[in-house]
């Protein structure tokens, strides 16, 4: 056994001179470049070195023609899924995708008709409801319930009461962005039962499933039972886990052949093809060599979350931090500040000089909330906390 490598998350490379969306769009989104950007869900943490080593090695070959996703790449993902999520996936079940959101759109087109209803559980990552509306389907909003401690759960009664014959598809966010929940087996089983009873196909977006904090455990929806397997399309990938969104590669797993054929009909019309060589290489390296890195990353992320939690606990009259089980996205309940959404945004941009996502963009239940991405280096989390603390302090002092 080789020696365990210790990865360093204390600092990260400067992204200002790259085309990083998080930095480039500041002026457009926040009206100023003078904000520390903590919005879009990628990390201000270096992508792991073993990914670049594999890419550099491939670059030694001077031809970049069309390439197939090699079996070794799929096998790396299959082994990862087995090791980390106790699910057996066969190679023929996997399809290449450049984007989870694109896969979601293919599903909407493959498993519903114009005018049919698609379920989303709000507040949720905006492309969930945009994809439904842009494809001329009707949005069936099954709002999540908020519990006393600020955490969220499914509202099964609401879901059952809203489903009708036009309801064809459920877009599940598991783990959930932005509320940070890891759905328990019993919760998923109840969703499954409802979907089976009503002939509803499930698109399970599991892009955040590696970023789950102990003792929580991610349960792939398709792993619940054979019945679950037969109605599920799962989206998985390395984009969030290893900060590799720039390589634009994820996969879609569909165990049921009939479901896969239906999906493929739309997928082939669009011509997804096989993607980019460097994406295949990086995807494989991440899954093959990423176990230790991920373990250390999660410790680092959780310590950032703890620091943020301690800050919020110092200002209980202003911000309540939603308990988190997964993801690096903090869902800040700022309703106690008594500001309307415009003024709340202004507080974060002008007083704290931080660029967060407005809660309202995750649907109307996000009113009074803000989403803060804490996937940054140790140096940067201190800056972010200090900026937010001085803004809160001055608010407290000035009444």
Ligand X SMILES: Cc1ncc(COP(=O)(O)O)c(C=O)c1O
Under the rule (CB under 6 A), what is the footprint of ligand X? 41, 99-101, 125, 173, 177, 205, 207, 239, 245, 250
C-alpha–C-alpha distance, residues 344 and 366, integer Å? 12
Can the peptide bond before residue 258 be classed as cis, meaning omega within 30 degrees of 0? no
C-alpha–C-alpha distance, residues 21 and 24, integer Å? 5
C-alpha–C-alpha distance, residues 185 and 251, integer Å? 23
Residue 353 — φ and ψ, nearest 5°?
A: 55, 50
> Residue 183 CB, nearest distance to ligand X (Å)?
13
Is there a contact between 290 and 50 (Cβ–Cβ < 8 Å)? yes
DSSP 197-264: HTT-EEEEE-TTTT-B-TT-----GGGS-HHHHHHEEEEEESTTTTT-GGG--EEEE---HHHHHHHH
> Residue 42 CB, nearest distance to ligand X (Å)?
8
> Residue 246 CB, nearest distance to ligand X (Å)?
10
Q: Decide whether 29 or 173 has the Cβ nearer to ligand X.
A: 173
> Residue 208 CB, nearest distance to ligand X (Å)?
6
Q: Decide whether 375 or 391 has the Cβ nearer to ligand X.
A: 375
> Residue 59 CB, nearest distance to ligand X (Å)?
24
> Residue 258 CB, nearest distance to ligand X (Å)?
25
C-alpha–C-alpha distance, residues 170 and 200, integer Å? 7
Is there a contact between 205 and 174 (Cβ–Cβ < 8 Å)? yes
Q: Decide whether 95 or 392 has the Cβ nearer to ligand X.
A: 95
> Residue 41 CB, nearest distance to ligand X (Å)?
3
DSSP 15-72: -TTTT-HHHHTHHHHHS-S-SEE--SSS-BSPPPHHHHHHHHHHTTSS-----PPPHH
Q: Decide whether 12 or 204 has the Cβ nearer to ligand X.
A: 204
DSSP 329-389: EEEEE-GGG---HHHHHHIIIIIS-EE-EEGGGG-GGGTTEEEEE--B-HHHHHHHHHHHH
Q: Decide whether 239 or 368 has the Cβ nearer to ligand X.
A: 239
Is there a contact between 293 and 134 (Cβ–Cβ < 8 Å)? no
Pick from 98, 130, 120, 129: nearest CA to 237: 98
Q: Decide whether 283 or 315 has the Cβ nearer to ligand X.
A: 283
Pick from 399, 389, 342, 398: nearest CA to 370: 342
> Residue 125 CB, nearest distance to ligand X (Å)?
4
> Residue 316 CB, nearest distance to ligand X (Å)?
29
């Amino acid at each position: 056994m080789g020696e365990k490598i210790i990865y360093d998350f204390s600092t990260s490379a400067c992204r200002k001179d790259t085309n990083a969306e998080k930095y480039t769009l500041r002026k457009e989104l926040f009206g100023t470049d003078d904000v520390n950007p903590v919005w879009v869900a990628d990390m201000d943490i270096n992508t792991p070195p073993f990914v670049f080593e594999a890419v550099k090695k491939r670059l030694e070959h001077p031809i970049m023609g069309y390439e197939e996703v090699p079996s070794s790449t799929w096998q790396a993902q299959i082994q990862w899924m087995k090791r980390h999520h106790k699910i057996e996936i066969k190679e023929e079940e996997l399809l290449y995708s450049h984007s989870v959101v694109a896969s979601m759109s293919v599903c909407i087109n493959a498993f519903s008709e114009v005018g049919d209803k698609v379920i989303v559980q709000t507040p949720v990552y905006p492309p969930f409801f945009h994809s439904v509306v842009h494809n001329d389907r009707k949005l069936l909003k099954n709002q999540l319930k908020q519990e006393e401690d600020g955490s969220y759960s499914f509202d099964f009664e609401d879901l059952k009461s809203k489903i009708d014959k036009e309801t064809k598809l459920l877009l599940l966010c598991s783990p959930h962005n932005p509320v940070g929940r890891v759905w328990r087996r019993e919760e998923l089983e109840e969703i499954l039962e409802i979907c089976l009873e009503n002939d509803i196909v499930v698109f399970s977006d599991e892009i955040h499933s590696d970023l789950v904090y102990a003792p929580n455990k991610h349960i792939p929806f398709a792993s619940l039972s054979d019945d679950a397997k037969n109605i599920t399309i799962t989206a998985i990938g390395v984009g969030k886990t290893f900060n590799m969104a720039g390589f634009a590669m994820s996969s879609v797993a569909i165990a049921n052949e009939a479901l896969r054929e239906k999906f493929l009909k739309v997928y082939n019309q669009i011509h997804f093809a096989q993607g980019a060589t460097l994406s295949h290489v990086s995807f494989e390296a991440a899954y093959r060599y990423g176990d230790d890195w991920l373990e250390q990353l999660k410790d680092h992320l959780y310590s950032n979350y703890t620091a943020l939690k301690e800050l919020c606990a110092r200002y209980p009259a202003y911000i309540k931090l939603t308990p988190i089980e997964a993801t690096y996205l903090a869902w800040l309940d700022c309703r106690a500040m008594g500001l309307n959404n415009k003024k709340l945004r202004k507080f974060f941009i002008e007083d704290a000089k931080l660029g967060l996502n407005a809660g309202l963009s995750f649907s109307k239940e996000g009113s009074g909330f803000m989403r803060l991405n804490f996937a940054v280096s140790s140096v940067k989390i201190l800056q972010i906390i200090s900026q937010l603390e001085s803004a809160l302090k001055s608010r407290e002092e000035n009444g």
